[in-house]
Amino acid sequence: MKWEENVRKVVPYVAGEQPNKPDMIKLNTNECPYPPAPGVRELAAGMDCDALRLYPDSNTTLLVDALAEYYGVKPGQVFVGVGSDDVLAMAFMTFFNSDRPILFPDVTYSFYDVWAELYRIPYRICALDEDWHIRPEDYRQPNGGVIFPNPNAPTGLPESLDTVEEIIQANQDVVVIVDEAYVDFGGVSALPLLEKYENLLVVQTFSKSRAMAGLRIGFCIGNERLIRYLNDVKFSFNSYTMNYPAQMLGVEAVRDDAYFKAVTAKVVDTRERVKKELAQLGFTFPDSRANFIFASHRTVPAETIFRALREADIYVRYWNKPRISNSLRITIGTDEQMDRLLGFLKEFLAENQ
Ligand code: PMP
């Protein structure tokens, strides 16, 4: 059809499936296995429905202020979006407008190349080394911007603050985005570098460590000028991105720091135990500092294990893609969920290797 010539054609990002079976174990989208903070539940239960009549605060003032206070920055340094996917999508549109390619790793969050294609941003991928680490020297070539997660996904592997700074230092003429979706599970945040680098944008999310994937809250922190540019684009797109309940409940989640710390510590505890047990079952994996483990079995192909787990209603994530097609990304669930996973794997591997 002639009209199709002028359609923006994209190959969309494929999110992990969201099955809803009564007895399933869902370890495929890095959600938190524990509920949000008790204050969030209380506030949600008593939510003023009359307020839904009005448009929400388009500046998300209360949530921006709560985050600014929590992270010790100015409110003008904080931008809030509908999940960090929304923040990242806005940031790509705002900051990556060069004819030069943006740079990101080959094994990384698979939304980056989708946004690049959507916005027609040229990009070049930089291969991780054999141990799944970023090679900072790759980020010394001419480019139109840099983005990488820390810890990386789906490997879970963190980079040191020195490596992150080396990359930022070499790229002060472009915006460098550090996607810290998983930083609360033992990574090192680049936030302290904000004082030194006005081209740094740090992106985080409430979806994992704050157990609120369903509400869709993400945010970023950076220099006030960066945030102003980001807001200009956001307000040229959709003023009322974040709904009223998300703004109110998000503030409540930030307030309960003790609960946040307890939940992340519990996930880390379980992760470290599961690492030991997976190793005993013959799995190898990078030393994750995220809420998942990226595991390969020494003898049984990942796809075989993935299918067997799925049959048993245990959902993990598998990609049939170069370099990662023999690995499973296993989200850290409750101890009971992980025991069921490990119990299944023990039996399955005993029969199948
Ligand atoms: N960045 C990375 C590295 C992720 O893995 C995810 C989760 N899919 C996101 C960003 C987006 O998460 P959300 O939109 O739920 O904040």
Interval 69-81: pLDDT, tens: 999 999 999 999 9
What whole-number distance in Å separates Cα of residue 310 and Cα of residue 26? Answer: 10
Average pLDDT, the chain: 97
Q: Which atom of ligand 1 is nearest to the CA of 206?
A: 16
**Ligand 1 centroid from CA 353, angstroms:** 35
- Other CB atoms within 10 A of residue 217 CB: 29
Specify burial of residue 313 (Cβ count, 10 A radius: 0-12, 13-18, 19+).
middle
Average pLDDT over residues 229-245: 96
What whole-number distance in Å separates Cα of residue 217 and Cα of residue 194? Answer: 22
Model pLDDT for residues 170-225, shown as the tens digit of each residue: 999 999 999 999 999 999 999 999 999 999 999 999 999 999 999 999 999 999 99
Closest C-alpha to 146, from 65, 200, 69: 200
85 lines ligand 1 (CB under 6 A): yes
Q: Which atom of ligand 1 is nearest to the CA of 216?
A: 15
Closest C-alpha to 148, from 184, 199, 95, 112: 112
**Ligand 1 centroid from CA 161, angstroms:** 21
**Distances from the Cα of 267 to the Cα of 32, 52, 194, angstroms:** 8, 35, 28
291 lines ligand 1 (CB under 6 A): no
Model pLDDT for residues 310-349, shown as the tens digit of each residue: 999 999 999 999 999 999 999 999 999 999 999 999 999 9
Average pLDDT over residues 116-129: 98
Please identify which residue in the block is written with the tokens 């009005």.
54
**Ligand 1 centroid from CA 304, angstroms:** 27
What whole-number distance in Å separates Cα of residue 291 and Cα of residue 162? Answer: 23
Q: Helix 61-71 crosses helix 244-255 at what angle (to 10 degrees)?
A: 20
In 184-311, the DSSP E strands lie at 200-205, 218-222, 283-284, 292-297
Helix H or strand E encompassing 177: strand 176-179
| Minimal-distance CA residue to ligand 1 atom 2 | 181
User: Do residues 253 and 210 make contact, with C-beta atoms less than 8 angstroms apart?
Assistant: yes
Percent of the chain at pLDDT > 70 equals: 100
**Ligand 1 centroid from CA 154, angstroms:** 11
The residue whose CB lies within 8 Å of the most ligand 1 atoms, and thus the one to mutate among 28, 92, 115, 179, is 179
114 lines ligand 1 (CB under 6 A): no
Which domains are seen in the chain, by residue range?
2-35+258-352 (3.90.1150.10), 38-255 (3.40.640.10)
**Ligand 1 centroid from CA 181, angstroms:** 6
- Report DSSP letters for 69-114, one per residue: HHHTS-GGGEEEESHHHHHHHHHHHHH---SSPEEEESSS-TTHHH
**Ligand 1 centroid from CA 252, angstroms:** 21
What whole-number distance in Å separates Cα of residue 206 and Cα of residue 183? Answer: 11
Joined tokens for residue 234: 């956001």
Q: Is the pLDDT of residue 353 over 80?
A: no
**Ligand 1 centroid from CA 206, angstroms:** 10
**Ligand 1 centroid from CA 2, angstroms:** 37
pLDDT at site 22: 87
Its pTM stands at 0.98
pLDDT at site 319: 97
Average pLDDT over residues 138-151: 98
What whole-number distance in Å separates Cα of residue 343 and Cα of residue 337? Answer: 10
149 lines ligand 1 (CB under 6 A): yes
189 lines ligand 1 (CB under 6 A): no
What whole-number distance in Å separates Cα of residue 217 and Cα of residue 284? Answer: 33
pLDDT at site 311: 96
What whole-number distance in Å separates Cα of residue 199 and Cα of residue 237? Answer: 23
Q: Which atom of ligand 1 is nearest to the CA of 84?
A: 16
